[in-house]
């Protein structure tokens, strides 16, 4: 029987509440829409710094569009949700959310993907991409003195939470920063992210991000048109 990552997360949060401890969390975000529900949920319990590190994004203008959407969402969400430090003696409804933009290291992604270009989405190339981005998140978390790091990637129905958590926990041991295991798609997390995307009028992309996922999507569309 597999682990129930959502239950583990809830138990961890319960333990924090009992200790009246508000940990610092480095949240790797793949895009604004996926981060929406995660920030709505976790900003009640953590001081979050969002890391946008996605060297897989293609083309350049898509990268710029996504990172600007991420910054815009954090700003608008913070204003509308009443994010503040809280008055003395009172617990704030949500805690402040910071933002860090990582380097757009396209060459690093293509070097990683070399020899795996033809592997279908959801295979080994994607797993290596998970690790590439989570490794940078772990590095930033250690550098910034965070208590935890995690990723929004588990909210996607197309991403394997077990693989992401396995990688995250391995990197946690390597870097000495705790990993927050998750499966954000649970409890209607993915559904809520779609609702929030519509509510905030967010740009919601129709492919994962890399050139290979774009090509795969186009091929499926062409095949659908030919058979339709």
Q: pLDDT-based confidence at 86, cuts 50/70/90?
A: low
228: pLDDT strictly greater than 90 = no
51: pLDDT strictly greater than 90 = yes
Q: Over the stretch 102-126, which tens digit does the pLDDT of each residue have?
A: 999 999 999 999 999 999 999 999 9
What the chain holds in terms of domains, given with CATH numbers, is 5-227 (3.40.50.620)
Burial of 33 (0-12, 13-18, 19+ CB in 10 A): buried
Give the CA radius of gyration of the chain.
Answer: 18
80: pLDDT strictly greater than 60 = yes
pTM above 0.85, yes or no: yes
162: pLDDT strictly greater than 90 = yes
């Amino acid at each position: 029987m597999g682990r129930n990552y959502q239950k583990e997360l809830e138990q961890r949060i319960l333990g924090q509440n009992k200790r009246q401890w508000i940990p610092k969390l480095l949240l790797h975000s793949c895009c604004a829409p996926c981060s929406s529900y995660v920030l709505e949920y976790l900003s009640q319990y953590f001081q979050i710094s969002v890391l946008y590190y996605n060297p897989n994004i293609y083309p350049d203008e898509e990268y710029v569009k996504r990172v600007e959407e991420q910054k815009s969402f954090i700003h608008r969400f913070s204003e509308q949700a009443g994010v503040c430090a809280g008055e003395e003696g009172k617990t704030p409804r949500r805690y402040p959310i910071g933002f860090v933009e990582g380097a757009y290291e396209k060459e690093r992604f293509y070097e990683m993907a070399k020899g795996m270009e033809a592997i279908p989405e959801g295979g080994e190339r994607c797993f290596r991409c998970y690790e590439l981005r989570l490794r940078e998140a772990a590095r930033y978390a250690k550098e910034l003195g965070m208590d935890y790091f995690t990723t929004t990637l588990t909210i996607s129905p197309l991403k394997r939470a077990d693989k992401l958590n396995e990688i995250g926990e391995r990197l946690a041991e390597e870097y000495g920063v705790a990993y927050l295991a998750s499966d954000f798609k649970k409890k209607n997390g993915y559904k809520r992210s779609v609702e929030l995307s519509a509510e905030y009028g967010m740009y919601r992309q129709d492919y994962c991000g890399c050139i290979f996922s774009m090509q795969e999507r186009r091929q499926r569309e062409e095949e659908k048109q030919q058979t339709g």
